[in-house]
Chain A
């Protein structure tokens, strides 16, 4: 029998049998409160595990599509330009200033023990091992990661990603793979730029303003920093680039509704990328030190 909205009847409950997510209500009292807390904790843990699984599947699909189909030059080049070329100035500027800041902060201590000519060793080692790759990745996450999440999020909200699917085109192939490849391939170049500008900045400040001798500065740097240190930074940067692209694109693809959803996905893309960069940096640093010790059992070179 038809119900009329004008003569409201008690609304029948929605078929609970068709709602597998509806749990039976917990008993009351302290026991019920604990049961609810445990249930909430369990639900939170399940959500986290599901989210990690979701990102892992997203990553697998992205890698799969790199090899499944030939990449189009007209899709790749604009992404590479945005990610690489447009990021160069800001990465270079950051590198230059960080090199100078390292010189400023280290000089007093080194001078106190009469080792100011060894300043280059510490500045350059810090730069090529840690600060160059991490700063380049941070700048990329801030400049490109947030933009990717916002752009893909807007495409999700305005149904452009759905439109791609409806036309039989795979959104991961079209939207994620070019950005992923851009980050993966170009972050080493950005890292080299950050390293170079940092080394230059550190030297300029040390030589021109602190008066450290040219010969000793470079001779000590050359003796203390070797190719492994430089390659270690470059190696780590590949992981940072992949993490930025996957986390940011995933946030864009799973954007919430409206402008608020797009804003939140852009913010989360940067925050989660940054945390992941630092975590990867720590664990890759530990692992690479072990690799270094394996090939050079005599241990690290000494400053003195």
Chain B
């Protein structure tokens, strides 16, 4: 029985056709199964937050959604087109409809911030250098960075600035789907909220659908239309769904599932003793 999380949580979701569909998805690296039988519909315009503890497969799920990780079983469909059956060139073209904000920003070290943000424009459009400069300047304004950073290299600016520059690069081509991988990890509380506000600001762009992978409950509550929670496979039984929760932020707060309560309230539970007993962890399949 596939683990489904397709129940709509808002009335507008029912009207919108799903932009992205994940169907029976399993991902395995060597002998390690990371994702098992995940099914998920993401309607256009929705902001979906994927919660879960470290190592539960959130980032792998996100990378599978853009075709960076090939599924061992099942498929991902974007606007009805299966990513697995696409030729490399078609997949590259499809990716122009995506924006990906990486955990560490993943800006190119050898380029200035301006060149980083202009990269997708230069790669996929035929606009002049002057027009590209104007677009980069407006993107920089949109993410709240000073124009003085444009000529700097990524190593010369702070982590929060790098994340915002990464976001500016991700939205340069007006993508339909933006994937955020741990957008607030490693930031101070103020910068975390700045990023949250930017995610909300980007969400207001027309036709934008977002998937935010995080373990930050503040981010989840603030930006989510719908939340799903993944659970590490080695803690689950053979027939248990890996998606242990799917609903609104309010549903999450009302949930009485102890696994969800432990995560939401940030309790260690018996994890400390589990870590002390390394042998028991190593013996897990």
Besides A2-B258, A160-B108, 20 other A-B contacts (C-beta < 8 A): A2-B257, A4-B258, A4-B259, A5-B259, A5-B269, A14-B33, A14-B233, A14-B238, A18-B28, A18-B33, A162-B63, A163-B100, A163-B108, A165-B68, A165-B95, A166-B100, A167-B96, A167-B169, A168-B95, A169-B119
State A205–B261 Cα separation when bound (angstroms): 82
| A209 interface residue per 8 A CB criterion | no
Q: Are A168 and B92 in contact (CB under 8 A)?
A: yes
List residues of chain B with CB within 8 A of the CB of A260. none
State the Cβ distance, A78 to closest chain B Cβ, in Å: 8
Interface string of B68-98 (1 = CB under 8 A from A): 1000110000000000000010001111101
Instruction: Sample 17 A-B pairs with CB under 8 A, ordered by A number.
Output: A5-B235, A6-B258, A8-B270, A12-B238, A14-B234, A18-B33, A19-B31, A159-B103, A160-B106, A162-B106, A163-B106, A163-B107, A165-B95, A168-B96, A169-B120, A169-B123, A170-B88
Q: Are B235 and A3 in contact (CB under 8 A)?
A: yes
List residues of chain A with CB within 8 A of the CB of B271. 5
| A21 interface residue per 8 A CB criterion | yes
B interface with A by C-beta (< 8 Å) = 26, 28, 30-31, 33, 36, 63, 66, 68, 72-73, 88, 92-96, 98, 100, 102-104, 106-109, 119-120, 123-124, 169, 233-238, 240, 244, 257-259, 262, 269-271, 284-285
- Give the nearest-CB partner of A170 in chain B: B92
Q: Are B93 and A168 in contact (CB under 8 A)?
A: yes
Q: Are B235 and A168 in contact (CB under 8 A)?
A: no
| A15 interface residue per 8 A CB criterion | yes
Count how many pairs of residues, one from A and one from B, have CB atoms less than 8 Å apart in the complex. 105
Q: Are A5 and B238 in contact (CB under 8 A)?
A: no
Q: Are A160 and B120 in contact (CB under 8 A)?
A: no
- Give the nearest-CB partner of A154 in chain B: B109
- Give the nearest-CB partner of A166 in chain B: B100
State A233–B31 Cα separation when bound (angstroms): 47
Q: Are B238 and A15 in contact (CB under 8 A)?
A: yes
Q: Are A159 and B102 in contact (CB under 8 A)?
A: yes
State A202–B94 Cα separation when bound (angstroms): 60
Given contacts A166-B68, A168-B123, A169-B92, contact A19 B259 (CB under 8 A): no
List residues of chain B with CB within 8 A of the CB of A165. 68, 92, 95
Chain A, range 194-240, C-beta contacts under 8 Å to B: none
List residues of chain B with CB within 8 A of the CB of A160. 106-109
List residues of chain B with CB within 8 A of the CB of A18. 26, 28, 33, 36, 72-73
Given contacts A4-B258, A160-B109, contact A166 B284 (CB under 8 A): no
Chain A, range 88-113, C-beta contacts under 8 Å to B: none
State A170–B270 Cα separation when bound (angstroms): 46
B120 CB contact (under 8 Å) in A6, A14, A162, A168: A168
State the Cβ distance, A157 to closest chain B Cβ, in Å: 10
State the Cβ distance, B122 to closest chain A Cβ, in Å: 10
| A24 interface residue per 8 A CB criterion | no
List residues of chain B with CB within 8 A of the CB of A155. 108-109
List residues of chain B with CB within 8 A of the CB of A169. 92, 119-120, 123
Q: Are B98 and A166 in contact (CB under 8 A)?
A: yes
Chain A, range 1-43, C-beta contacts under 8 Å to B: 2-6, 8, 11-15, 18-19, 21-22
